[in-house]
Amino acid sequence: MVKVGVAGYGVIGQRLADGVALQKDMELVGVADLAPTLSVRALKERGMDYDLYLVEGADASKFNALGIPYKGSFNDLIGKVDVMLDSSPGGVGAKNKELYEKAGVKAIFQGGEKNSVADVFFHGYANYEKGLGAKYLKLTSCNTTGLIRSVDCLDRNYGVDRVAITIIRRVADPGDYHRGLTNALQMDKAPSHQAVDLMTIMPHVEATGILVHTPVTHGHIITVVAHGKDGKKITRDMALDAFKTHDRIRVVRIEDGFLGNSSFFRYARDLGNPRGDMYEIGLWEDSIVESGDNIMYAINIPQESVTIPETMDGVRAAIKMQNDSASATAETNKNLGLGRWKN
Ligand SMILES: NC(=O)c1ccc[n+]([C@@H]2O[C@H](COP(=O)([O-])OP(=O)(O)OC[C@H]3O[C@@H](n4cnc5c(N)ncnc54)[C@H](O)[C@@H]3O)[C@@H](O)[C@H]2O)c1
C-alpha cells in the first residue's frame, strides 16, 4: 500500500482525500490544514473519517475550542507518507515543498503553483511516462486537464497537429464570495494559459486560445477546433468513435436533456455523487462538427473534481506503481468507477 497525505483540505483537498480512499492500492494517512474551515468542521461533524494534522501557523486553541481532534503536526504527517498531494492555496505549495524536500518525500502539486515547483508538468494520459519515478509533479489546471483528455484522445487515435480553443470559464466555486456578486463577462488576453500548457505537455501540437470569464460556478465549457496531423482529416464519426471509448469522457446529447453546465451538476447529484462531483468531462455528441479540414466539439469541465483522476495517476507514476499510462489510468478508472455509464 502506497501511503498518501493531503495538504490543504479545501475544494480540491477534500476530493483528493476521497479519491485516495477509493484506491485499493493506496492508503490515505491523513489530511493537513491551517484553520478550522467549514470543510474541516464538516469533517468533524461527519465523524473524522480522515485523521487531521495541523500545519505550521495553525492556532490549535481554535481547533480545541470546537472539539476538532488532530493527530499531530504537518511534519508528523509528512514523516508517515510516501507522497504528499499538495492542494494548499496557489503559491503556498512552493513553501510547503521545502518541508517535503527536507523529509525526502515525493509531492504532487495542483494547477495554482508555478510550473517551476515540479520536475514534470503532468497529465495521466498525455505524458504519464515522463512522470515515472519523478520526485515532484505538477498537475494541469482543471480546464487543461479536461482539454488535454479530449485532444490526447483524438491525437492517440488519429494524430493532431493544431488546435484552437475557446474557454467559457466559471468565475468562482459554489460557496465563494471573494469574487463579489457579478453579472458580466470578462475577456483575458490571448493566448490563454490552457493553450500554452497544452503545448508544454503535448509539444507536437500547436495550440492557441481565448478565455472568457463568466459569472457561473458549475463548470467551464470549452470549444475545441482540432486539425488532424499530416493533413489527415478527422471526421465527425471518427471523433465520436474515439470519444465514446474513453473512460474519462462522458458523451451526451442535448436532446437527452444535457442542455448545459447545470445539467451535468444536476445529473451528478441525481447519481448520488458526493458533493455533485463528476470526475469525467462531458462531451456533447451534437456539438461535434466538421469545418473544412478541422473537427470542432464542446466539452464540459467539472472544475472541482476533474483533476482528481489525473492526480491519482500522478501517484502511480511517481511511485512507479505501473510503468505505462494505459495500465495506470485503467487502475485509477476502475477504483473511481469511471466509464461505468457505458455498461
Ligand atoms: N477550485 C478549483 O476548482 C480548482 C481546480 C483545479 C485546481 N485547483 C488548484 O488546487 C489548489 C487548491 O485550490 P482550492 O480551490 O482547493 O483552494 P481552497 O482555498 O479551497 O483550499 C485550500 C486549503 O488549504 C488550506 N491551507 C492554507 N495554508 C496552508 C498551508 N500552509 N498548508 C496546507 N494547507 C493550507 C486552507 O485553509 C484551505 O482549506 C490550487 O493550486 C488551485 O489552483 C483548484
Q: What is the pLDDT of residues 65-106, one digit of tens each?
A: 999 999 999 999 999 999 999 999 999 999 999 999 999 999
Q: Tens digits of per-residue pLDDT, 268-282?
A: 999 999 999 999 999
* Cell triple for 74: 504537518
Q: Tens digits of per-residue pLDDT, 186-202?
A: 999 999 999 999 999 99
| Average pLDDT of the chain to the nearest whole number | 96
Contacts 24+ apart (CB under 8 A), 109-113: 109/136, 109/137, 109/138, 109/139, 110/12, 110/86, 110/138, 110/139, 110/141, 110/307, 110/311, 111/138, 111/139, 111/140, 111/141, 111/142, 111/144, 111/307, 112/141, 113/86, 113/138
> Candidates 87, 261, 278: which one to mutate for ligand 1, based on the most atoms within 8 Å of Cβ?
87
- 12: CA distance to ligand 1 center in Å? 6
> Candidates 6, 31, 33: which one to mutate for ligand 1, based on the most atoms within 8 Å of Cβ?
33
- 11: CA distance to ligand 1 center in Å? 6
Type and span of the H or E element at 266 = helix 261-270
Q: Which of 214, 213, 219, 223 is nearest to 164 (CA)?
A: 223
Nearest CA, atom 25, ligand 1:
8
Nearest CA, atom 11, ligand 1:
87
Nearest CA, atom 43, ligand 1:
112
Q: Tens digits of per-residue pLDDT, 313-322?
A: 999 999 999 9
Domains by residue range for the chain, with CATH: 2-140+307-342 (3.40.50.720), 142-301 (3.30.360.10)
Residue 229 carries which DSSP code?
G
- 294: CA distance to ligand 1 center in Å? 37
Give the sheet arrangement for strand 26-33, strand by strand: 72-73, 52-54, 26-33, 2-7, 83-86, 106-109, 136-139, 120-122
Nearest CA, atom 41, ligand 1:
112
Please tell me the predicted confidence (pLDDT) of residue 10: 97
> Candidates 11, 43, 139, 177: which one to mutate for ligand 1, based on the most atoms within 8 Å of Cβ?
11
Please tell me the predicted confidence (pLDDT) of residue 343: 80
Q: Tens digits of per-residue pLDDT, 19-53?
A: 999 999 999 999 999 999 999 999 999 999 999 99
Give the percent of the chain with pLDDT over 70.
100
Outline where DSSP puts E strands in the chain: 2-7, 26-33, 52-54, 72-73, 83-86, 106-109, 120-122, 136-139, 160-170, 186-187, 206-214, 220-228, 249-252, 281-284, 289-291, 294-301
List residues near ligand 1 (CB under 6 A): 7-13, 32-35, 37, 55, 87-90, 92, 96, 110-113, 141-142, 173, 303-304, 307
Q: Over range 334-342, report the average pLDDT.
A: 95
Backbone angles phi, psi at 58, to 5 degrees: -70, 140
- 255: CA distance to ligand 1 center in Å? 37
> pTM of the entire structure?
0.89
Distance CA 141, CA 112 (A): 7
- 111: CA distance to ligand 1 center in Å? 10
Catalytic residue among 105, 137, 142, 165: 142
Distance CA 235, CA 131 (A): 32
Distance CA 30, CA 65 (A): 21
- 237: CA distance to ligand 1 center in Å? 40
Q: Tens digits of per-residue pLDDT, 291-321?
A: 999 999 999 999 999 999 999 999 999 999 9
Quick check: is 153 catalytic? Answer: no
